[in-house]
């Protein structure tokens, strides 16, 4: 049987090319993901650990204060005591505070103040490019801050000190602070120690780096340091580096899981293609199998021979896929690693045993599993089948009956019930469990399509039969060929259905989220510009009243809406209750939010609007107690909001707010609406002129914010669609393989058609129409599933979802399906056209 199996593989190797390609592509994605994320992790580890491994001990403030307060900084005395230890050669302290960096337009960078850090030879930070600052007028930038602002070595930058005064520095170098650190969110600028103390105004150290004496172990140094460091946390450099590596690795693990999800989708689609190919091949080789039975082969030998064939194909294809995956993974790291914060130039490709083992195992096991059902069928071929003269795949169309119909309908009913359950779970807010239930519902619906696929194909082709016959003999023959083999057609197109459903589903989610967020922005603040302060945990200062005054004086501005907010204790369930009021605009007209009950326009003195999370079950008309600067006061609830798109705390009438919170005079935001007829440039200049004295105020236009959201969602869609596109490509290979095997099976039939007058061009058009019809059926079914379950998934994740069906994207997907069908038919059509008429008719 081994020789027979190998001979069969050699004889039919051309028929297995697309199957091998499907396996190779799937394994390439799996192996490439492992190489990419492994190399990325290694880069992260080298970055964060390399900065700490060179020190014997790292001293950190005690993070566990017990009362939730910030950790106490380390004192200069602690540093001196550590430096005086005989086990220590040198100890350096790190000063850290807020020093906002300005961009090229003189505005602060980011929503959080840039961190100012002291660096030097005795600290664990070093220059990735250039040099560390040595003088008072020099500074080094974090590599991320340099990318965001466009500043480079030799440039002059403006930085604000702790009092808001602006200072100019020359950039001498770039520092890689590592991924996963707090500087990933804030950015950082590095000073020498004296300048850092002056700029940050911080009196204390956030970290002490200790170099041990020669011949002293890190553990001994750590023990000695801990004895004089009080309540501070003391770690060896190795332990601290490991902690940093674990924190950085958590981010890459999320990326790994996401990429592996796409890889599993590709492998699932590939398994469908492999199953369909083997089912057709083994069905076409019924006479060969029956002849083996006649000469003494048992059922077990036939079964083992089929599985051996799968093992050989899977192992060889997987090996090729692993090699391709190594190249693809490192190429992806070289292209996108720097964007993710990795150091590409100094990192070598990481190829662990898991890459090879996982790639070979996944590809081979998947191929064997896909072969199981066809292999079992092949054992049922009777020896008398060897007497048949036909080489057609008999038996492949069996099993279409009432049992199949009942099973398919039951699966669709189950899918509907699961979607209904998911909606119930998310009725009170976004639900992770609801998303899981929707996923299960989608899987049940897909199985329903798989079970009822042959009947769906028959119904769709019957509906399209009349218009296809108007296209001539080629169209009529294509419809008849598809309709007479609905099970094969359904199995071929189901892989495309999976890819089309996933792409459509995500398209619906992306487009609906974009529409929903845009609508929420327009309802919350139907304005042109919004001014907000940079978030500063130390001062918590807002926008001075003078800013709103300057805006009100501008003829280009029609409306100025000022939001004032006070935070007050609200009991155990409402700690730090935010209480806000809006001046210059009416709640319900100029300021809006999604409502749960009531009417925003009912807000008046003595009444409040409360977000659902703070209402604690209270509804309109109930009494709500607000702790104020004048003591607790009771208010009537005028409306309850969802709290997801504005008015997320308690909203009070402006007169009441001024009475009960007289000290809250700074604004948390100022929104403006342009005057009728005002030019865009006039409005822009008026807004920026109002904030020119305070560079920490950030200006965001509503149009800019919408564009940023749109760009982000569009970019995410393109990335995800590209990854899901691999499954579509594999599905197209499957359709091409099905067409090629069908052409081989129908060789005599095609020759007879040619003999009866069908031209080569008509034969090619017939096969093209068959392939296009398969792709269209698969794509249309996928689009239907994608729209339904995209809406369901979006609804359970985002409340008040505005369903938006991206018609243009779906039309493009269908156009791609048509093009894919045409491409899938090219080689089979050429093969059919080149076949000798007389030779084919003379053959068995």
Residue 520 lies in a domain: yes
**How many whole angstroms separate alpha carbon 245 and alpha carbon 788?**
42
Q: Which pLDDT belongs to residue 15? A: 59
Is 360 a residue whose pLDDT tops 80? yes
* Across 8-20, average pLDDT: 64
Q: Judge if 48 and 183 occupy the same domain.
A: no
Beta-ladder partners of 591: 587
**How many whole angstroms separate alpha carbon 182 and alpha carbon 98?**
12
Q: Which pLDDT belongs to residue 403? A: 80
Beta-ladder partners of 160: 166
Residue 506 lies in a domain: yes
CA distances from 189 to 92, 125, 420 (A): 18, 12, 53
- Is 0.85 surpassed by the pTM of this model? no
The secondary element (H helix, E strand) that includes residue 117 is strand 115-118
Residues 6+ apart with CB under 8 A from 577: 567, 568, 569, 570, 614, 626, 627, 649, 650
Q: In sequence order, what E strands does 480-591 have?
A: 529-533, 557-568, 577-583
Which candidate, 320, 443, 278, 245, places its Cα nearest to that of 27?
320
Residue 833 lies in a domain: yes
Q: Which pLDDT belongs to residue 156? A: 93
Residue 822 lies in a domain: yes
More confident residue, 349 or 321: 321
Q: Which pLDDT belongs to residue 705? A: 73
C-alpha angle with apex 107: 680 to 672, nearest 5 degrees?
40
Tens of pLDDT, residues 417-453: 998 888 888 776 666 678 788 888 888 988 888 888 8
* Across 653-673, average pLDDT: 90
Per-residue HEC secondary structure of 692-721 comes to CCCCCEEEEEHHHHHHHHHHHHHHHHHHHH
Q: Which pLDDT belongs to residue 745? A: 66
Is 160 a residue whose pLDDT tops 70? yes
Q: Which pLDDT belongs to residue 189? A: 93
**Contact of 115 with 100, CB cutoff 8 Å:** no
* Across 748-766, average pLDDT: 76
Q: Judge if 73 and 201 occupy the same domain.
A: yes
Q: Which pLDDT belongs to residue 274? A: 82
More confident residue, 706 or 355: 355
Q: Which pLDDT belongs to residue 613? A: 86
Name the pLDDT band for 65 (thresholds 50, 70, 90): very low
Q: Judge if 77 and 6 occupy the same domain.
A: no
Is 615 a residue whose pLDDT tops 80? yes
* Across 769-793, average pLDDT: 88
Q: Judge if 670 and 736 occupy the same domain.
A: no
Range of the domain at 332: 1-52+237-390
Residue 749 lies in a domain: yes
**How many whole angstroms separate alpha carbon 57 and alpha carbon 306?**
62
Tens of pLDDT, residues 498-535: 888 888 988 898 888 888 877 777 766 677 888 888 77
* Across 100-128, average pLDDT: 84
Say which DSSP state 316 is in. H
Q: Judge if 82 and 211 occupy the same domain.
A: yes
More confident residue, 452 or 138: 138
Residue 672 lies in a domain: yes
Q: Judge if 631 and 746 occupy the same domain.
A: no
Q: Judge if 314 and 324 occupy the same domain.
A: yes
Q: Which pLDDT belongs to residue 436? A: 83
Name the pLDDT band for 345 (thresholds 50, 70, 90): low
**How many whole angstroms separate alpha carbon 729 and alpha carbon 262?**
13
**Last residue within a domain, chosen from 695, 711, 739:** 695
**Contact of 31 with 326, CB cutoff 8 Å:** yes
Q: Judge if 46 and 63 occupy the same domain.
A: no
Helices 807-824/702-745 angle, 10° precision: 20
Structural domain tally of the chain? 4
**Contact of 639 with 599, CB cutoff 8 Å:** yes
Q: Is the dihedral of CA 379, 384, 387, 393 positive or negative?
A: negative
The percent of residues in the chain predicted with pLDDT above 70, rounded, is: 83
C-alpha angle with apex 645: 644 to 646, nearest 5 degrees?
105
Is 339 a residue whose pLDDT tops 70? no
Q: Which pLDDT belongs to residue 652? A: 94
Q: Judge if 218 and 276 occupy the same domain.
A: no
Q: Which pLDDT belongs to residue 838? A: 65
What is the residue-wise DSSP string for 429-444? S--HHHHHHHHHHHHH
Q: Which pLDDT belongs to residue 254? A: 66
Is 285 a residue whose pLDDT tops 70? no
Residue 194 lies in a domain: yes
More confident residue, 230 or 428: 230
**Last residue within a domain, chosen from 215, 236, 257:** 236
**CA trace torsion 527, 528, 529, 530 (10° rounding):** 20
Is 67 a residue whose pLDDT tops 60? no
Say which DSSP state 559 is in. E
Q: Which pLDDT belongs to residue 603? A: 93
**Contact of 274 with 19, CB cutoff 8 Å:** yes
Q: Report the chain's mean pLDDT, rounded to a whole number.
A: 81
More confident residue, 67 or 696: 696
Is 538 a residue whose pLDDT tops 70? no
Q: Which of 88-97, 184-193, 472-481 has the lowest mean pLDDT?
A: 472-481
**How many whole angstroms separate alpha carbon 484 and alpha carbon 671?**
66
**Last residue within a domain, chosen from 695, 712, 747:** 695
Residue 403 lies in a domain: no
Q: Which pLDDT belongs to residue 604? A: 93
Say which DSSP state 114 is in. P
Tens of pLDDT, residues 44-60: 666 665 566 678 899 99
Q: Judge if 648 and 711 occupy the same domain.
A: no
Q: Judge if 306 and 217 occupy the same domain.
A: no
Q: Which of 277-281, 364-368, 617-621 has the lowest mean pLDDT?
A: 277-281
Q: Which pLDDT belongs to residue 414? A: 93
Residues belonging to the chain:
844
**How many whole angstroms separate alpha carbon 411 and alpha carbon 415?**
6
Q: Judge if 284 and 224 occupy the same domain.
A: no
Tens of pLDDT, residues 363-421: 899 888 888 887 787 777 666 554 454 444 444 455 566 787 888 899 999 999 998 88
């Amino acid at each position: 049987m081994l020789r027979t199996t190998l001979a069969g593989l050699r004889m039919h190797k051309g028929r297995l090319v697309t199957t091998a390609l499907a396996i190779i592509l799937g394994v390439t994605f799996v192996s490439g993901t492992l190489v990419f994320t492994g190399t990325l992790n290694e880069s992260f580890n080298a970055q964060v650990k390399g900065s700490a491994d060179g020190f014997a001990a790292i001293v950190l403030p005690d993070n566990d204060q017990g009362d939730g307060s910030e950790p106490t900084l380390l004192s200069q005395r602690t540093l001196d005591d550590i430096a005086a230890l005989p086990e220590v050669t040198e100890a350096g302290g790190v000063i850290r505070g807020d020093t906002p960096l300005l961009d090229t337009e003189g505005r602060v960078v980011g929503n959080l103040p840039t961190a100012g850090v002291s660096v030097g030879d005795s600290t664990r930070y070093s220059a990735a490019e250039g040099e560390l600052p040595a003088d008072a007028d020099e500074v080094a930038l974090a590599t991320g801050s340099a990318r965001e602002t466009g500043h480079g070595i030799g440039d002059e930058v403006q930085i604000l000190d702790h009092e808001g005064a602006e200072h100019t520095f020359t950039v001498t170098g770039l520092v890689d602070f590592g991924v996963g650190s707090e500087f990933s969110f804030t950015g950082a600028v590095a000073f020498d120690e004296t300048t850092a103390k002056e700029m940050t105004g911080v009196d204390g150290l956030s970290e002490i780096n200790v170099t041990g004496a020669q011949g002293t172990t890190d553990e001994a140094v750590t023990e000695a340091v801990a004895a004089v460091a009080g309540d501070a946390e003391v770690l060896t450099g190795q332990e601290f580096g490991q902690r940093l590596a674990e924190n950085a690795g958590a981010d890459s693990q999320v990326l790994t899981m996401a990429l592996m999800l796409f890889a599993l989708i590709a492998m699932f689609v590939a398994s469908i293609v492999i199953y369909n190919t083997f089912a057709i091949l083994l069905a076409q080789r019924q006479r060969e199998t029956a002849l083996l039975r006649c000469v003494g082969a048992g059922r077990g030998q036939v079964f083992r021979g089929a599985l051996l064939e799968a093992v050989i194909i899977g192992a060889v294809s997987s090996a090729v896929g692993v090699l391709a995956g190594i190249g693809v993974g490192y190429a992806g790291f070289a292209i996108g690693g720097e964007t993710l914060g990795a150091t590409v130039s100094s990192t070598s490709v990481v190829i662990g045993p898991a890459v090879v083992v996982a790639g070979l195992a996944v590809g081979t096991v998947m191929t064997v599993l896909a072969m199981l059902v066809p292999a079992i069928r092949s054992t049922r071929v009777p020896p008398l089948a060897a007497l048949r003269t036909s080489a057609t795949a008999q038996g492949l169309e069996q099993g279409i009956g009432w049992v199949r119909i009942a099973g398919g309908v039951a699966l669709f009913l189950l899918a509907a019930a699961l979607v209904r359950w998911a909606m119930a779970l998310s009725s009170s807010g976004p639900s992770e469990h609801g998303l899981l239930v929707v996923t299960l519902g989608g899987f049940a619906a897909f199985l329903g399509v798989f079970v009822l696929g042959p009947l769906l194909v028959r119904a769709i082709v019957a509906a399209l039969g009349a218009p296809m016959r108007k296209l001539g003999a080629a169209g009529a023959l294509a419809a008849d060929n598809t309709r007479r083999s609905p099970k094969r057609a359904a199995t071929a197109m189901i892989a495309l259905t999976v890819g089309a459903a996933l792409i459509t589903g995500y398209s619906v989610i992306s487009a609906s989220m974009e529409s929903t967020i845009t609508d929420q922005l327009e309802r919350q603040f139907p304005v042109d510009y919004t001014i907000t302060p940079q978030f500063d945990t130390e001062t918590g200062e807002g926008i001075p009243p003078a800013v709103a005054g300057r805006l009100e004086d501008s003829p280009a501005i029609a409306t100025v809406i000022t939001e004032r907010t006070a935070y007050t204790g609200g009991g155990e369930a409402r700690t730090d209750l935010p209480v806000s009021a809006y001046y210059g605009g009416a709640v319900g007209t100029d300021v809006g939010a999604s409502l749960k009950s009531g009417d925003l326009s009912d807000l008046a003195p003595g009444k409040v609007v409360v977000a659902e999370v703070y209402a604690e079950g209270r509804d309109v008309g109930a009494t709500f107690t607000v702790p104020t600067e004048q003591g607790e006061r009771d208010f009537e609830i005028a409306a309850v909001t969802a709290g997801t798109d504005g008015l997320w705390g308690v909203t009070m009438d402006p007169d009441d707010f001024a009475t009960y919170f007289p000290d809250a005079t700074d604004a948390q935001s100022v929104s403006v609406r342009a005057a009728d007829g005002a030019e865009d440039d006039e409005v822009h200049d008026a807004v920026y002129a109002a904030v020119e004295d305070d560079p920490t105020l950030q200006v965001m236009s509503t149009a800019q914010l919408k564009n940023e959201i749109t760009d982000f969602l569009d970019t995410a869609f393109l990335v995800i669609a590209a990854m899901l596109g691999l499954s579509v490509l594999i599905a197209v290979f499957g359709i091409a393989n099905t067409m090629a095997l069908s052409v081989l099976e129908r060789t005599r039939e095609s020759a007879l058609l040619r003999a009866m007058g069908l031209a080569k061009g008509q034969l090619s058009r017939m096969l093209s129409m068959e392939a296009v019809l398969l792709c269209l059926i698969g794509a249309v079914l996928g689009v239907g599933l994608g729209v339904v379950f995209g809406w369901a998934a979006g609804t359970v994740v985002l409340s008040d979802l505005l369903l938006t069906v991206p018609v243009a994207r779906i039309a493009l997907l269908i156009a791609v399906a048509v093009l894919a069908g045409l491409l899938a038919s090219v080689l089979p059509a050429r093969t059919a056209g080149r076949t000798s008429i007389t030779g084919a008719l003379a053959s068995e």
